[in-house]
């Protein structure tokens, strides 16, 4: 195994200002993202692997990023959202190996008006139809009925937020949840964070309110150390001046904080990527990715499911 200390602060081109703009609570954590590749067929001729990398933005500072990997790799950037990945490609791949990405992050609460991201680079992109977030007459009419009597993007987004909170329940039973499918969320009214926020984003976009999706990991509120859950995602909408944070699935879990999560993200999270229908770099053979937080692999040009991840955290002193 070889360890390479990258020591990069990987910045996003679309953010404005510096990561010190917010005035809320902060949290400093060391994280280890471990990607497991297992049971690669012995006759495999080529393996390609993409692993998401966190970046510094207005609300988190990434430092001391180090990679432990048994194979050569490079860091690439997809062209639409600027997401970064660790990419490796190898012939005659080993059957099993791990890639570990370790880094430190200081995360800031996103909620102070002075710290809001006012960069409009994503506005046009955040109005587009996507595979599971459709633009249609049906969705537009539904959204218009919900916002009737509310003027302005902020008031309309609040009406859509309240509606989503009332319509959806955090419930991972049955099939179809976790894909961020507006239609499924609309029909069954339950799911996880991807379903909550896809439903909200679709309603916003269909009445001309830009909104987009961000995904990462959630940290337990209690400081300490351990392993995070699978992933967590949240959303932003554009109120005409800035990107306003919302987290509707957390509001569903914590009803006493429903008002807080319209206009704020707490510090107990780390963002990795944003956007949907992602074409990675180099482009994957398997078509656009719904979203990217898990490692993604292909063997001989076909999607390979023998990859998984674990994320470990330890709070700083």
Task: Name the 3-class secondary structure at 47.
Answer: strand
Number of helical (H) and strand (E) elements in the chain, helices listed first: 5, 17
Question: Domain 120-273 maps to which CATH number in 2.30.30.60, 3.40.50.10540, 3.10.620.30, 3.30.70.890?
Answer: 3.10.620.30
Report the alpha-carbon distance of residue 129 to residue 133 in Å, rounded. Answer: 6
Residues in the chain: 317
CA distances from 55 to 12, 85, 115, 208, 238 (A): 7, 10, 17, 29, 21
CATH 3.10.620.30 residue ranges of the chain are 120-273
Q: 2-109+277-315 maps to which CATH number?
A: 2.60.40.2250
| Cis before 166 (ω within 30) | no
What residue spans in the chain does CATH classification 2.60.40.2250 cover?
2-109+277-315
* pLDDT tens by residue, the chain, 317 residues: 433 333 333 333 333 332 333 358 999 999 999 999 999 999 999 999 999 999 999 999 999 999 999 999 999 999 999 999 999 999 989 999 999 999 999 999 999 888 899 999 999 999 999 999 999 999 999 999 999 999 999 999 999 999 999 999 999 999 999 999 999 999 999 999 999 999 999 999 999 999 999 999 999 999 999 999 899 999 999 999 999 999 999 999 999 999 999 999 999 999 999 999 999 999 999 999 999 999 999 999 999 999 999 999 999 86
Strand arrangement, sheet containing 46-53 = 74-77, 84-91, 46-53, 296-299, 302-304
pTM of the model: 0.92
Going through 72-120 in order, the beta strands assigned E by DSSP cover: 74-77, 84-91, 97-108
**Is there a contact between 194 and 179 (Cβ–Cβ < 8 Å)?**
yes
């Amino acid at each position: 195994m070889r360890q390479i200390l990258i020591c990069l602060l990987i910045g996003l081109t679309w953010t404005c200002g510096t990561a010190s703009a917010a005035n809320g609570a902060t949290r400093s954590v060391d994280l280890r993202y471990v990607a497991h590749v297992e049971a690669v067929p012995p006759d495999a001729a080529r393996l390609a692997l993409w692993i998401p990398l966190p970046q510094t933005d207005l609300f988190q500072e990434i430092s001391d990023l180090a990679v432990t990997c048994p194979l050569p790799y490079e860091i690439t950037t997809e062209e639409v959202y600027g997401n970064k990945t660790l990419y490796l490609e190898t012939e005659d791949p080993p059957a099993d190996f791990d890639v570990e990405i370790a880094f430190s992050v200081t995360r800031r609460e996103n909620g102070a008006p002075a710290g809001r991201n006012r960069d409009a680079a994503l506005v046009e992109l955040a109005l587009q139809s996507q595979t599971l977030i459709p633009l249609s007459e049906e969705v537009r009419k539904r959204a218009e009925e919900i916002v009737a009597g509310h003027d302005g993007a902020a008031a309309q987004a609040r009406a859509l937020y309240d509606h989503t909170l009332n319509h959806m329940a955090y419930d991972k039973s049955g099939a179809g949840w976790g894909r961020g499918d507006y239609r499924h969320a609309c029909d069954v009214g339950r799911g996880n964070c991807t379903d909550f926020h896809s439903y909200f984003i679709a309603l916003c976009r269909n009445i001309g309110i830009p909104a987009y999706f961000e995904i990462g990991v959630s940290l337990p509120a209690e400081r300490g150390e351990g392993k995070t859950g699978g992933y967590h995602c949240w959303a932003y909408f554009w109120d005409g001046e800035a990107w306003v944070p919302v987290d509707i699935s957390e509001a569903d879990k914590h009803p006493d904080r429903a008002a807080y999560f319209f206009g704020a993200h707490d510090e107990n999270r780390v963002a990795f990527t944003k956007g949907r229908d992602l074409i990675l770099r180099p482009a994957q053979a398997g078509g656009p990715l719904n979203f990217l937080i898990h490692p993604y692999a292909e063997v001989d040009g076909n999607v390979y499911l023998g990859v998984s991840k674990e994320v470990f955290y330890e709070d700083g002193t």
